[in-house]
Amino acid sequence: MAEKQYDWKAIAKNPKFVELHHKKTAFLFGWWIFSCVYYFLLPIGAAYTPGLFKVKIIGVVNFGYIFALSQFFVSWGIALYYSHVANKDFDRLTRELIDELHL
């Protein structure tokens, strides 16, 4: 059976594809910037404000430990938010594009 050939240049110029690509790029770039800043706050904060990171919160658990642990929860939160946006917006736009192009 012959494999179906697609006109990728035409697909790339389609307004729905352009909208999908723009929305996805803006979303991912924005959250990538936030993630990088949040990640590097730990080593930079620990280096330049060690007193803050030594503040005891609960017993021997200090702010540095809490901040480091929070990075796991923030990354999980971002992943959950991405899946929500992907299901709501990106998948809808992809379905519309596929329907329009009769793929």
Residue 26: C-alpha distances to residues 20, 21, 23, 29, 60 (Å): 10, 8, 5, 5, 41
pTM, entire model: 0.78
Domain extents for the chain?
Answer: 14-101
- From CA 79, how far away is CA 73, in angstroms rounded? 10
pLDDT tens digit string along 6-62?
888 888 898 999 999 999 999 999 999 999 999 999 999 999 999 999 999 999 999
